[in-house]
Amino acid sequence: MDDLPPEAEIAGTSPLSHRATRCGSCVNFLTTTLKTGTLNGMPTPRSTRSKLRKPGSQSALRQLNQQRIIEALRGGPATQAELARQTGLSTATVSNIVKIMQASGLASTEPVTSSGRRALNVRLNDNGAVAVGIDFGRRHLRVVLASLSYRVIAEESVHLPLGHHASEGIRAATELLTRLLAESGVERSALLGAGVGIPGPIDRRSSTVAPGAILPEWVGIDILSEMEDALEIPVYLDNDANLGALSEVTWGHHRHVSNLLFIKIGSGIGSGLILNGGTYYGNVGITGEIGHATIHEQGLICRCGNRGCLETIASTTTMIELLSRGKPGKLTPVDLVRSALEGDPATLRVIDDAGLAVGRALGNVANLINPEVIVVGGPLAGLNGLLLDPIRRGLIRHAVPVVGETTSLAISSLGDRAEALGGAALVFAQSVIRKT
């Protein structure tokens, strides 16, 4: 064991314990906290364009360590000695990886004086590699381009027709990405890949959208292959709520939180889980379907076939239907937020009822997993306390007292960008960070 090369060292692990961070030929590593993170359950679907690597190979271990250094450099330039202290890697390993990053254009170095001694300062290059984040919704599409230092280079959101087919959405994403690359001056060769969020359960065995999604026209389609054929770059597919959770621990205010639940309240209601520092996927990848938790056994029939699901009570679709009765035209989530902020009594009552139902469902989940933080995202995030207060009341009422009292509740600071930003973070976490 002592004769392993510097690249074989993994911060925070023993030479044997790093086996837990790999599944088959796919290396999974989340740079969400300052300790080694693992993806629990099944791995995020690996791009079909990714090159297979032997588990335990020097290149795979080097990738893990390189991700550690990239995460440390996100806070700004640092000397190699400081990087060694922050990551727990040896100075020899840090030096070797920095040379590789410098040669590939991912990082640059400059001599400095630290504590009276000569040192080498390391910084990430913004133009070294770019990730694409793509968020598909029932009526929208958002695409972002992000640099390795987690800076948004370009982004745009466009409307999609209700009931659009997968081919329409993929074509729109391809066209929007092409336009953003041209406008920002980013070369396609700089793209590491695209992280794609879908509002529905993803069967990770086949990379297909499972029944129950709010995009029924996408069910059963091999989105991974379709997207890669269209974009001609590696693609990593995930549920949009999972990407929302990932964005909170990479882009948001919760970078050092190891146990976080992200709940997205929109046309559907879903949640993503960060448990023990890694995204949790369960057995076949269908987790976080909190929108189908039964709240009222004699309630309305849900699109999933059950009765009284949370979505039938607290989705924006339900709220809008309740508030649109007897009124001309169709309200939007933006109208709903505006009416609530203006103090409309009917809107406030609908939001209060929905918030209490969400809090009840979250109380049951919190009793099970005991998260440190619950983050609420989606188009209603602008309501802030008007939405958080009833959710908190429901959570406190239905959670074990000590769990309810010690669980923080917050509105996402990333707004409707969270899922797309999480897609970019997924690329950085999954890709081999090198230029070829």
CB 390 within 8 A of CB 379: no
Q: Is residue 324 situated within a structural domain?
A: yes
Angle at 339 between CA 319 and CA 416, to 5 degrees: 70
Task: Give the C-alpha separation, 232 to 226, whole Å.
Answer: 10
Position 14 confidence tier, pLDDT thresholds 50, 70, 90? very low
Contacts of residue 338, Cβ cutoff 8 Å, sequence gap at least 6: none
Q: Are 143 and 155 in contact (CB under 8 A)?
A: yes
Residues in a beta bridge with 158: 141
Q: Residue 428's pLDDT is what?
A: 83
* pLDDT tier, 116 (very low <50, low <70, confident <90, very high otherwise): confident
Tokens describing residue 31:
């740079």
In a shared domain, residues 241 and 327? no
Domain membership of residue 304 (yes or no) is yes
> Both 279 and 335 in a single domain?
yes
Final residue of a structural domain among 125, 159, 192: 125
Examine the domain organization and report whether 101 and 221 are in the same domain. Answer: no
| Average pLDDT of span 255-271 | 92
- pLDDT over 60 (residue 135): yes
User: Residue 143 corresponds to which tokens in the numbers above?
Assistant: 């695409």
Same domain, 145 and 217: yes
Within a domain: 1? no
C-beta pairs of 410-413 under 8 Å, 24+ apart in sequence: 410/253, 410/254, 410/373, 410/374, 410/375, 410/376, 411/375, 411/376, 411/377, 411/381, 411/383, 411/384, 411/387, 412/244, 412/248, 412/252, 412/262, 412/375, 412/376, 412/377, 412/381, 413/252, 413/253
pLDDT at 148: 78
3-state helix, strand, coil in the chain (%, to 5): 40, 20, 40
The CATH number that applies at residue 18 is 1.10.10.10
Confidence of residue 46 (pLDDT cuts 50, 70, 90): low
47: Cα separation from own chain's centroid: 17
N-to-C CA span, the chain: 31
Structure tokens at 109: 């170095």
Q: How is residue 383 written in tokens? A: 């309501």
Q: What is the mean pLDDT of residues 76-91?
A: 88
Q: Are residues 276 and 399 in the same domain?
A: yes
Integer CA distances (angstroms), 435 to 11, 136, 148, 187, 226, in order: 23, 28, 12, 13, 24
Per-residue pLDDT, averaged over 385-402, amounts to 97
Higher pLDDT, 13 or 22: 13
pLDDT for position 128: 60
User: Which range marks the domain in which residue 38 is found?
Assistant: 6-125
Query: Nearest Cα to 227, choosing from 124, 161, 134?
Result: 134
Decide which of 331 and 150 is more confident.
Answer: 331
Could you tell me if 374 and 395 lie in one domain? yes
One DSSP character per residue, 11-62 reads TTS-TTGGGGGEETTEE----SSSS----BSSPPPPPTTSPP--TT-HHHHH
Claim to verify: residue 302 and residue 159 sit in the same structural domain: no
In a domain, residue 264? The reply is yes
Task: Give me the pLDDT at residue 118, please.
Answer: 85
For the segment 156-174, the average pLDDT, to the nearest whole number, is 93
Of the candidate ranges 91-95, 105-109, 145-149, 284-288, the one whose mean pLDDT is the lowest:
105-109
Which residue, among 167, 144, 289, has the nearest Cα to 218 in the 3D structure? 167
- Its sign, for the CA torsion 419, 59, 66, 36, is positive
The β-bridge partners of 309 are 294
Residues 194-232 have pLDDT tens digits of: 999 998 888 888 888 888 778 888 888 888 999 999 999
Please check whether residues 36 and 144 belong to one and the same domain: no
What is the structure's pLDDT at 255? 80
Mean pLDDT of 362-391: 96
The most confident of the ranges 19-28, 36-45, 72-81, 409-418 is: 409-418
Q: What is the mean pLDDT of the chain?
A: 83
Residue of higher predicted confidence among 119 and 4: 119
17, pLDDT greater than 60: no
Burial class (CB in 10 A: 0-12, 13-18, 19+), 263: buried
Rounded to an integer, the average pLDDT of 29-57 is 43
Whether 378 shows a pLDDT value over 70: the answer reads yes
Residues 60 and 162 in one domain: no
* Tens-digit pLDDT profile for residues 60-71: 577 678 777 877
Question: Which whole number is the average pLDDT over 375-380?
Answer: 95
Q: Are residues 227 and 372 in the same domain?
A: no
Query: To which H or E segment does residue 150 belong?
Result: none
pLDDT single digits (tens) 319-376: 999 999 877 778 899 999 999 999 999 999 999 999 999 999 999 999 999 999 999 9
Question: Among residues of the chain, what percentage have pLDDT more than 70?
Answer: 82
> What pLDDT, on the 0 to 100 scale, is given for residue 108?
85
pLDDT at 47: 63
Are 242 and 204 in contact by the 8 Å Cβ rule? The answer is no
Question: Taking 70 as the threshold, does the pLDDT of residue 35 lie above it?
Answer: no
pTM confidence score: 0.76
The count of domains in the chain is 3
Range with the poorest average pLDDT among 116-125, 151-160, 290-299: 116-125
Q: Would the pLDDT of 187 be above 50?
A: yes
Q: What percent of the chain has pLDDT over 90?
A: 49
What is the rounded radius of gyration, in angstroms, for the C-alpha atoms of the chain? 22
| 280: three-class secondary structure by DSSP | strand
404: domain CATH number is 3.30.420.40
**Is residue 433 over pLDDT 80?**
no
